[in-house]
Protein backbone atom coordinates (compact mmCIF):
# COMPACT_ATOMS: atom_id res chain seq x y z
CA UNK A 1 0.00 0.00 0.00
CA UNK A 2 2.78 2.48 0.85
CA UNK A 3 6.50 2.96 1.38
CA UNK A 4 7.73 4.85 4.45
CA UNK A 5 11.10 6.47 3.82
CA UNK A 6 13.96 7.36 6.16
CA UNK A 7 16.05 10.43 6.93
CA UNK A 8 17.90 10.88 3.62
CA UNK A 9 16.51 13.17 0.93
CA UNK A 10 18.92 12.16 -1.83
CA UNK A 11 17.37 8.80 -2.81
CA UNK A 12 13.90 10.34 -2.79
CA UNK A 13 14.95 13.25 -5.01
CA UNK A 14 16.91 10.96 -7.35
CA UNK A 15 13.97 8.53 -7.73
CA UNK A 16 11.15 11.06 -7.55
CA UNK A 17 10.13 10.69 -11.20
CA UNK A 18 10.18 6.88 -11.03
CA UNK A 19 8.10 6.88 -7.83
CA UNK A 20 5.47 9.23 -9.24
CA UNK A 21 5.25 7.60 -12.66
CA UNK A 22 4.80 4.19 -11.05
CA UNK A 23 2.31 5.53 -8.49
CA UNK A 24 4.22 4.33 -5.43
CA UNK A 25 2.64 6.00 -2.41
CA UNK A 26 5.60 7.31 -0.38
CA UNK A 27 5.31 8.73 3.12
CA UNK A 28 8.19 10.91 4.33
CA UNK A 29 8.51 11.33 8.11
CA UNK A 30 12.04 12.77 8.18
CA UNK A 31 13.68 13.76 4.88
CA UNK A 32 13.57 17.56 4.50
CA UNK A 33 14.86 18.22 0.94
CA UNK A 34 12.61 20.77 -0.74
CA UNK A 35 12.31 19.02 -4.13
CA UNK A 36 11.01 15.77 -2.58
CA UNK A 37 7.38 16.89 -2.59
CA UNK A 38 7.54 19.28 -5.53
CA UNK A 39 6.89 17.01 -8.49
CA UNK A 40 5.61 19.10 -11.46
CA UNK A 41 2.28 17.33 -11.69
CA UNK A 42 -1.14 17.64 -10.08
CA UNK A 43 -0.87 13.95 -9.13
CA UNK A 44 1.83 13.74 -6.48
CA UNK A 45 2.57 10.45 -4.67
CA UNK A 46 4.77 11.92 -1.94
CA UNK A 47 3.40 12.99 1.44
CA UNK A 48 5.79 14.63 3.88
CA UNK A 49 5.33 15.01 7.63
CA UNK A 50 8.61 16.72 8.36
CA UNK A 51 10.33 20.07 8.23
CA UNK A 52 10.62 21.40 4.67
CA UNK A 53 13.97 22.92 3.71
CA UNK A 54 12.25 25.75 1.85
CA UNK A 55 11.05 26.83 5.30
CA UNK A 56 13.88 25.44 7.45
CA UNK A 57 16.52 27.51 5.65
CA UNK A 58 14.82 30.75 6.61
CA UNK A 59 14.37 29.59 10.21
CA UNK A 60 18.05 28.59 10.56
CA UNK A 61 19.24 31.88 9.07
CA UNK A 62 16.84 33.88 11.25
CA UNK A 63 18.04 32.07 14.37
CA UNK A 64 21.69 32.69 13.49
CA UNK A 65 21.17 36.40 12.87
CA UNK A 66 18.56 37.26 15.49
CA UNK A 67 19.38 34.89 18.36
CA UNK A 68 23.11 34.40 17.92
CA UNK A 69 23.91 37.87 16.64
CA UNK A 70 25.80 36.47 13.67
CA UNK A 71 27.25 39.12 11.35
CA UNK A 72 29.21 36.97 8.88
CA UNK A 73 27.50 33.59 8.39
CA UNK A 74 29.16 30.86 6.35
CA UNK A 75 27.25 27.92 4.87
CA UNK A 76 28.93 24.51 5.29
CA UNK A 77 26.85 22.09 3.25
CA UNK A 78 26.92 18.46 2.13
CA UNK A 79 27.66 18.24 -1.59
CA UNK A 80 24.46 16.39 -2.51
CA UNK A 81 20.83 17.25 -3.42
CA UNK A 82 19.98 17.87 0.24
CA UNK A 83 22.82 20.38 0.45
CA UNK A 84 21.69 21.93 -2.84
CA UNK A 85 18.18 22.37 -1.43
CA UNK A 86 19.54 24.18 1.61
CA UNK A 87 21.95 26.26 -0.45
CA UNK A 88 18.95 27.65 -2.33
CA UNK A 89 16.74 28.28 0.72
CA UNK A 90 19.49 29.60 3.00
CA UNK A 91 20.98 31.69 0.21
CA UNK A 92 17.61 33.26 -0.48
CA UNK A 93 17.10 33.99 3.23
CA UNK A 94 20.58 35.49 3.61
CA UNK A 95 20.13 37.71 0.56
CA UNK A 96 16.79 38.96 1.87
CA UNK A 97 18.55 39.95 5.11
CA UNK A 98 21.37 41.77 3.29
CA UNK A 99 23.99 39.10 4.02
CA UNK A 100 26.56 37.48 1.74
CA UNK A 101 25.09 34.33 0.19
CA UNK A 102 28.32 33.36 -1.57
CA UNK A 103 30.21 32.32 1.58
CA UNK A 104 29.80 28.60 0.99
CA UNK A 105 31.92 25.49 1.58
CA UNK A 106 30.83 22.05 0.35
CA UNK A 107 32.02 18.62 1.49
CA UNK A 108 31.55 15.06 0.27
CA UNK A 109 30.54 11.81 1.92
CA UNK A 110 32.95 10.17 4.36
CA UNK A 111 34.73 13.39 5.27
CA UNK A 112 37.83 12.70 7.36
CA UNK A 113 39.26 14.71 10.25
CA UNK A 114 42.17 16.25 8.29
CA UNK A 115 39.86 17.57 5.58
CA UNK A 116 37.30 18.73 8.14
CA UNK A 117 39.98 20.63 10.08
CA UNK A 118 41.28 22.20 6.87
CA UNK A 119 37.80 23.41 5.94
CA UNK A 120 37.18 24.67 9.47
CA UNK A 121 40.44 26.64 9.42
CA UNK A 122 39.61 28.16 6.04
CA UNK A 123 36.16 29.21 7.28
CA UNK A 124 37.65 30.89 10.34
CA UNK A 125 40.27 32.61 8.17
CA UNK A 126 37.46 34.01 6.01
CA UNK A 127 36.15 35.96 9.00
CA UNK A 128 32.98 33.93 9.59
CA UNK A 129 31.49 34.21 13.07
CA UNK A 130 28.90 31.44 12.64
CA UNK A 131 28.46 28.33 10.53
CA UNK A 132 25.17 27.16 9.02
CA UNK A 133 25.76 23.42 8.89
CA UNK A 134 23.92 20.84 6.79
CA UNK A 135 25.46 17.45 7.50
CA UNK A 136 24.56 13.91 8.39
CA UNK A 137 25.98 12.09 11.38
CA UNK A 138 29.32 10.75 10.09
CA UNK A 139 30.44 14.02 8.53
CA UNK A 140 28.85 16.11 11.30
CA UNK A 141 30.97 14.32 13.92
CA UNK A 142 34.18 15.14 12.08
CA UNK A 143 33.18 18.77 11.46
CA UNK A 144 32.17 19.55 15.05
CA UNK A 145 35.27 17.83 16.44
CA UNK A 146 37.40 19.82 13.97
CA UNK A 147 36.00 23.15 15.15
CA UNK A 148 36.26 22.08 18.80
CA UNK A 149 39.98 21.36 18.31
CA UNK A 150 40.77 24.92 17.19
CA UNK A 151 41.59 28.01 19.26
CA UNK A 152 38.60 28.78 21.52
CA UNK A 153 38.80 32.49 20.68
CA UNK A 154 38.27 31.72 16.99
CA UNK A 155 35.48 29.15 17.13
CA UNK A 156 32.30 30.25 15.38
CA UNK A 157 28.85 29.25 16.61
CA UNK A 158 27.38 26.29 14.72
CA UNK A 159 23.70 26.34 13.78
CA UNK A 160 22.88 22.95 12.31
CA UNK A 161 20.14 21.15 10.46
CA UNK A 162 18.87 18.02 12.23
CA UNK A 163 20.83 15.50 10.12
CA UNK A 164 23.39 15.20 12.93
CA UNK A 165 20.71 13.75 15.25
CA UNK A 166 20.17 10.63 13.15
CA UNK A 167 22.68 8.31 14.83
CA UNK A 168 25.35 8.18 17.54
CA UNK A 169 26.51 11.80 17.25
CA UNK A 170 25.78 12.44 20.93
CA UNK A 171 28.00 9.50 21.89
CA UNK A 172 30.87 10.40 19.55
CA UNK A 173 30.87 14.15 20.28
CA UNK A 174 31.02 14.82 24.00
CA UNK A 175 28.84 17.36 25.79
CA UNK A 176 32.02 19.35 26.46
CA UNK A 177 32.83 19.48 22.73
CA UNK A 178 29.26 20.44 21.84
CA UNK A 179 29.36 23.26 24.38
CA UNK A 180 32.80 24.38 23.20
CA UNK A 181 31.51 25.12 19.70
CA UNK A 182 28.16 26.58 20.84
CA UNK A 183 26.21 23.99 18.84
CA UNK A 184 22.47 24.37 18.30
CA UNK A 185 20.23 22.55 15.83
CA UNK A 186 16.69 22.59 14.52
CA UNK A 187 14.39 20.00 16.10
CA UNK A 188 10.77 18.85 16.20
CA UNK A 189 8.51 21.03 18.35
CA UNK A 190 7.42 18.06 20.48
CA UNK A 191 9.82 16.40 22.90
CA UNK A 192 9.49 13.51 25.31
CA UNK A 193 11.89 15.50 27.52
CA UNK A 194 9.24 18.16 28.15
CA UNK A 195 7.69 18.14 31.61
CA UNK A 196 4.92 17.54 32.21
CA UNK A 197 4.14 15.42 29.18
CA UNK A 198 0.71 15.55 27.62
CA UNK A 199 -1.54 12.58 28.35
CA UNK A 200 -0.95 11.25 24.83
CA UNK A 201 2.79 11.82 25.03
CA UNK A 202 2.97 9.84 28.27
CA UNK A 203 0.85 7.06 26.77
CA UNK A 204 3.13 6.78 23.73
CA UNK A 205 6.25 6.80 25.91
CA UNK A 206 4.80 4.07 28.13
CA UNK A 207 4.01 1.92 25.09
CA UNK A 208 7.50 2.49 23.68
CA UNK A 209 9.13 1.45 26.96
CA UNK A 210 6.92 -1.65 27.13
CA UNK A 211 7.62 -2.66 23.53
CA UNK A 212 11.34 -1.80 23.28
CA UNK A 213 13.47 -2.98 26.24
CA UNK A 214 16.27 -0.53 25.36
CA UNK A 215 13.94 2.43 26.03
CA UNK A 216 13.79 2.99 29.78
CA UNK A 217 13.45 6.78 29.79
CA UNK A 218 12.89 9.59 27.25
CA UNK A 219 16.64 10.06 26.82
CA UNK A 220 16.92 6.49 25.47
CA UNK A 221 15.01 7.49 22.31
CA UNK A 222 18.15 8.04 20.24
CA UNK A 223 16.62 9.81 17.25
CA UNK A 224 13.51 11.63 18.48
CA UNK A 225 12.77 13.28 15.13
CA UNK A 226 12.44 9.93 13.39
CA UNK A 227 10.46 8.41 16.27
CA UNK A 228 8.00 11.28 16.72
CA UNK A 229 7.38 11.98 13.05
CA UNK A 230 7.27 8.25 12.29
CA UNK A 231 4.61 7.75 14.97
CA UNK A 232 2.46 10.62 13.73
CA UNK A 233 2.69 9.75 10.05
CA UNK A 234 1.63 6.18 10.84
CA UNK A 235 -1.43 7.45 12.70
CA UNK A 236 -2.29 9.56 9.65
CA UNK A 237 -1.84 6.52 7.41
CA UNK A 238 -4.17 4.43 9.59
CA UNK A 239 -6.75 7.21 9.70
CA UNK A 240 -6.69 7.50 5.90
CA UNK A 241 -6.93 3.71 5.52
CA UNK A 242 -10.13 3.76 7.55
CA UNK A 243 -11.71 5.58 4.58
CA UNK A 244 -10.68 2.87 2.09
CA UNK A 245 -12.69 -0.34 1.64
CA UNK A 246 -10.04 -2.97 0.95
CA UNK A 247 -11.02 -5.65 -1.57
CA UNK A 248 -7.63 -6.79 -2.92
CA UNK A 249 -7.01 -4.40 -5.84
CA UNK A 250 -3.77 -2.86 -4.60
CA UNK A 251 -3.35 -0.31 -7.41
CA UNK A 252 -6.88 0.98 -6.94
CA UNK A 253 -6.53 1.11 -3.16
CA UNK A 254 -3.24 3.02 -3.35
CA UNK A 255 -4.98 5.67 -5.43
CA UNK A 256 -7.90 5.78 -3.01
CA UNK A 257 -5.47 6.10 -0.13
CA UNK A 258 -3.63 8.95 -1.87
CA UNK A 259 -6.91 10.80 -2.32
CA UNK A 260 -7.89 10.13 1.31
CA UNK A 261 -4.57 11.57 2.48
CA UNK A 262 -4.98 14.64 0.29
CA UNK A 263 -8.37 15.36 1.85
CA UNK A 264 -7.51 14.64 5.47
CA UNK A 265 -7.92 17.15 8.25
CA UNK A 266 -5.27 17.37 11.00
CA UNK A 267 -5.63 14.66 13.62
CA UNK A 268 -6.42 15.59 17.21
CA UNK A 269 -4.73 12.41 18.43
CA UNK A 270 -1.13 12.98 17.36
CA UNK A 271 2.01 14.03 19.19
CA UNK A 272 2.33 17.21 17.13
CA UNK A 273 -1.16 17.57 15.65
CA UNK A 274 0.57 17.62 12.27
CA UNK A 275 -0.40 18.65 8.79
CA UNK A 276 1.20 17.31 5.65
CA UNK A 277 3.56 19.69 3.87
CA UNK A 278 2.98 19.38 0.13
Residue 205 is assigned to a structural domain of this protein: no
Residues 6+ apart with CB under 8 A from 278: 37, 44, 47, 48
Same structural domain for residues 57 and 178?
Answer: yes
Residue 171 is assigned to a structural domain of this protein: yes
Residue 64 is assigned to a structural domain of this protein: yes
At residue 275, the pLDDT reads 42
Same structural domain for residues 45 and 58?
Answer: no
Residue 200 is assigned to a structural domain of this protein: no
Residue 21 is assigned to a structural domain of this protein: yes
Same structural domain for residues 77 and 155?
Answer: yes
CATH of the domain at 26: 3.40.50.2300
Same structural domain for residues 75 and 37?
Answer: no
**End-to-end Cα separation, the chain, in angstroms:** 20
Residue 32 is assigned to a structural domain of this protein: yes
User: For residue 48, with 0-12 CB atoms within 10 Å meaning exposed, 13-18 middle and 19 or more buried, which class applies?
Assistant: buried
Same structural domain for residues 107 and 135?
Answer: yes
At residue 276, the pLDDT reads 40
The residue range of the domain holding 70 is 53-185
Residue 203 is assigned to a structural domain of this protein: no
CA distance 40 to 53: 18
Provide the number of structural domains found in the chain.
2
Residue 213 is assigned to a structural domain of this protein: no
Same structural domain for residues 35 and 61?
Answer: no
- The distance of Cα 60 from the centroid of its chain, to the nearest Å, equals 12
Same structural domain for residues 68 and 148?
Answer: yes
At residue 274, the pLDDT reads 43
Same structural domain for residues 66 and 43?
Answer: no
CA distance 18 to 53: 22
**pTM surpassing 0.85?**
yes
Same structural domain for residues 172 and 253?
Answer: no
The pLDDT tens digits for 239-251 are 999 999 999 899 9
Residues 6+ apart with CB under 8 A from 92: 57, 58, 101
Give the per-residue SS3 of 1-32.
CCEECCCCCHHHHHCHHHHHHCCCCEEECCCC
pLDDT along the chain (278 residues), means of 10: 94 96 96 93 93 92 96 97 94 97 96 96 96 96 96 94 89 90 90 89 96 94 89 93 91 95 81 53
Same structural domain for residues 62 and 113?
Answer: yes
Same structural domain for residues 23 and 84?
Answer: no
At residue 182, the pLDDT reads 94
Same structural domain for residues 156 and 62?
Answer: yes
Amino acid sequence: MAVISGMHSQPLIKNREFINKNKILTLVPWAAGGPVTRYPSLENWFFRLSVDDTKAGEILVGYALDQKGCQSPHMLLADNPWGDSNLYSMGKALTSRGKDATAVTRFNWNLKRYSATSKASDIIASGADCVLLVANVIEGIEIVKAFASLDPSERPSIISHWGITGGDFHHQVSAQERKAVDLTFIQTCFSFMNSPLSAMGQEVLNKAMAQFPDIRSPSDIVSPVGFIHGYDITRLLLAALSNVSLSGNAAMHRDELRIALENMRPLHEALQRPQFIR
